[in-house]
Amino acid sequence: MTYEEAKKKLALAGQEHLLKYYDELDAGQQENLLGQIEKLDLSLLQLIGDGKIETAKGKLEPLGAVTIEEIAEKKDIYEEKGLEAVRAGKVGAVLLAGGQGTRLGLDKPKGMLNVGMTKELYLFEQIVANLMQVVKKADAWVPLFIMTSEKNNADTTGFFEEHDYFGYNKDYIYFFVQEMAPSVSYEGKIYMEGKDKLATSPNGNGGWFSSMARAGLLEKGKELGVEWLNVFSVDNVLQKIADPVFVGATIVSGCICGAKVVAKADPNEKVGVLCMEDGKPSIVEYYEMTDEIIHSRDEQGKLLYNYGVILNYLFEVNTLVKIMNENMPVHVVEKKIPYIDENAQLVKPTEPNGYKFETLILDMIHMVDNCLSFEVEREKEFAPIKNRTGVDSLDSARELMQRNGILL
Ligand code: UTP
């Protein structure tokens, strides 16, 4: 793209400020900046109005879950079926590690967080340890696909290498990098991170499968015989990965997707709830529900919209291939975005100062025809680290880890 072309493209969207420092840059930097402008998807900017662009929800209906008690009754059958699939190489794991962890405020990948107290124990290490339990039980390696972003790929891959992949077989680890989207001010102006660099952020966890495809990993999966992908987040230290009971239950149910859920701690808990929307499974955020829906109960007094998701899903690969090119809703999310000010000084805000654009994995659930809602014990499988203090923090996760016998 030439300077003139870039100028024209930006003028149409009121973003000419991105070329402010062009004349000060050397040839390489100029080329770099023009390359970024060429790739820029300016249509995203139309999503910013009053900051509330979420589409209205359809007709909601409750969706029950296979409960902990029901699962316990059939555990052996499910587990055997799941182990069989793992042994046959049909199950892959996908670690979503492209996020920026802005709430925690780390300047390195979240997975590099040391959760240990008397020894070093990194999040990545604990995740690998959780997966190793299945590897040992099945006596088979589970392919582990790890999504990073441009911002943290080098640190992440370096960290794994430095720690010898935490004992995992590195031939079964595949890194891939997700796409980026521009970050903008509340007025819709794209921020700059440097004189030759637009401020960009990872484009959410919804594009994981298309990013995997772009990285050529679908062929790899096919070669390995992977039929199911268990996708999970980097920050839930207690989660089970490629859990044979979950895999087996989903296969036995005939569903093409499964979601691990926990019973809500109270009706107003701020979690996404798995339910039905216009006849298809869907995850609805707490703020998208009316009070009436939130509090509705069955004859036994149990909440009808009772099951919150914990970002641990199992998808059939064939289904993912079918839905891969469908458009996903783009969410406009308020974030703290580092930027250069009018004096070209880098500012790292302590409060949100604009928006980034994200697609979310939870929207994929509404793109599939059915989904097994699979209840797990919160105290045993859900200890996310999202915040610096209080709820879902390092302290709360440590406490839960210790209660589960993990030596810190
Ligand atoms: P979160 O929604 O908690 O986002 O991600 P985050 O970036 O980790 O943290 P905050 O919101 O900025 O504080 C849930 C999971 O999705 C991954 C994260 O790494 C985490 O495992 N994720 C998120 C991506 O892989 N890419 C993204 O663009 C966003």
User: Which range has the worst mean pLDDT, 166-170, 265-269, 368-372?
Assistant: 265-269
Residue among 150, 235, 336, 360 whose CB has most ligand 1 atoms within 8 A, to mutate: 235
pLDDT, mean of residues 185-213: 96
Give nearest CA residue, ligand 1 atom 15: 233
Given this model, what pLDDT does residue 54 score? 59
Average pLDDT over residues 181-198: 96
Q: Give the model confidence (pLDDT) of 116-166 as tens digits.
A: 999 999 999 999 999 999 999 999 999 999 999 999 999 999 999 999 999
> Is the predicted pLDDT of residue 51 greater than 70, yes or no?
no
Confidence of residue 287 (pLDDT cuts 50, 70, 90): confident
Please state the pTM of the whole predicted model: 0.94
Predicted confidence (pLDDT) at residue 68 exceeds the cutoff of 90: yes
For ligand 1, pick from 95, 100, 113 the residue to mutate: most ligand atoms within 8 Å of CB. Answer: 100
Q: Where are the alpha helices (DSSP H) in 22-64?
A: 27-39
Q: Evaluate: CB of 148 within 6 angstroms of ligand 1.
A: no
Closest CA to 273 of 287, 257, 253: 287
With 90 as the cut, is the pLDDT of residue 55 above it?
Answer: no
Q: Indicate whether residue 181 lines ligand 1 (CB < 6 A).
A: no
Q: Note the pLDDT of residue 47.
A: 86
Q: How far apart are CA 210 and CA 230, in angstroms?
A: 15
The candidate with the shortest Cα–Cα distance to 304, out of 266, 275, 324, 272, is 275
Nearest atom, ligand 1, residue 358 CA = 28
Backbone angles phi, psi at 404, to 5 degrees: -95, 15
Backbone angles phi, psi at 50, to 5 degrees: -95, 15
Which residue owns the Cα nearest ligand 1 atom 21? Answer: 233
For residue 204 and ligand 1, the question of a CB distance below 6 A is answered with yes
Protein residue closest via CA to atom 22 of ligand 1: 99
Q: Which residue bears the tokens 């919150």?
A: 308
| Ligand 1 centroid to residue 404 C-alpha, Å | 25
**Which residue, 233, 253, 278, 285, is CA-closest to 70?**
253
* Whether the predicted pLDDT of 400 surpasses 70: yes
Contact partners, residue 58, CB within 8 Å, separation at least 6: 277, 278, 282
Is the pLDDT reported for residue 31 higher than 80?
yes
Per-residue model confidence as pLDDT tens digits over 342-367:
999 999 999 999 999 999 999 999 99
Cβ(123) to ligand 1 under 6 A?
no
Ligand 1 mutation pick, 234, 312, 336, 337, max ligand atoms within 8 A of CB: 234
User: How far apart are the CA of 7 and the centre of ligand 1, in A?
Assistant: 33
Mean pLDDT for the stretch of residues 224-235: 98
Q: How far apart are alpha carbons 169 and 144 in whole angstroms?
A: 10
Residue 97 Cβ inside 6 Å of ligand 1? The answer reads yes
Would the CB of 205 count as within 6 Å of ligand 1? yes
Report the mean per-residue pLDDT for the chain.
95
Test site for ligand 1: of 94, 112, 123, 233, most ligand atoms within 8 A of the Cβ: 233
In short, whether 102's Cβ falls inside 6 Å of ligand 1 is: yes
The answer, yes or no, to whether residue 50 has pLDDT greater than 80, is: no
Q: Does the pLDDT at position 13 exceed 70? A: yes
pLDDT grade, residue 380 (50/70/90)? very high
Instruction: Tell me the best of 94, 95, 96 to mutate to test the pocket of ligand 1, counting ligand atoms within 8 Å of each CB and taking the most.
Output: 96
Q: What percent of the chain has pLDDT over 90?
A: 90
- Is 206 close to ligand 1, i.e. is its CB under 6 Å away? no
Q: Whose CA is nearest to atom 9 of ligand 1?
A: 101
Give the model's pLDDT for residue 286: 86
Encode 369-398: b = buried (16+ Cβ within 10 Å), e = exposed.
eebbbbbbebeebbbbbbeeeeebbbebbb
pLDDT of residue 117: 95
Nearest Cα residue to 311 out of 207, 390, 235: 235
